[in-house]
Amino acid sequence: MSLEKLVVVGGIAGVHRVAANRSNGLIIEDLDTGKKRFAPSRKHQFTPLESITIYTEDDDETLELSKVFQNMFAKLEEVPLVKVNVSNDEMKAYFAAIIPNYDRDRVYIGDMKKIVKWFTFLNDRSLITLEEEKTEAAAEKAADSEE
């Protein structure tokens, strides 16, 4: 799963793929229909998903969103995905099960809800897989065998 070309656009629901970059905005592609449209930077804020990280309690380290999605996907059977509108305590319990060392002071409920919403959106479209983990593990094994 690569979050490289995926972006969240303020004021437009869902996650979009960046089709092209212009000096005054982005041309974004709807993941469902494939329709492209121009989103001006004067009107919208853009957040690339690959730049999002979650605070952890490990000496000011953060966890990339792709790793969070991988954890959510890997534990989908043992820890079922919660709905976005669950109580705050249920959402915190879910995140504690997925990322046990997330920083409880700096990761807010709104952040958790967005992550669950994005994961649901991408998972419903089969854009989340465990392939990245497998390739990373293969790369680590190759590095170990060279030593």
Instruction: Output the pLDDT for position 2.
Output: 81
pLDDT at 131: 63
Measured in Å, how far apart are the chain's first and last C-alpha atoms? 29
Which residues, 6+ apart, have CB-to-CB distance to 110 below 8 Å? Answer: none
Report residue 143's pLDDT band, with 50, 70 and 90 as the boundaries.
Answer: very low
Give the helix ranges, DSSP H, for the chain.
65-74, 88-98, 109-124, 131-146
Confidence (pLDDT) at 142: 44
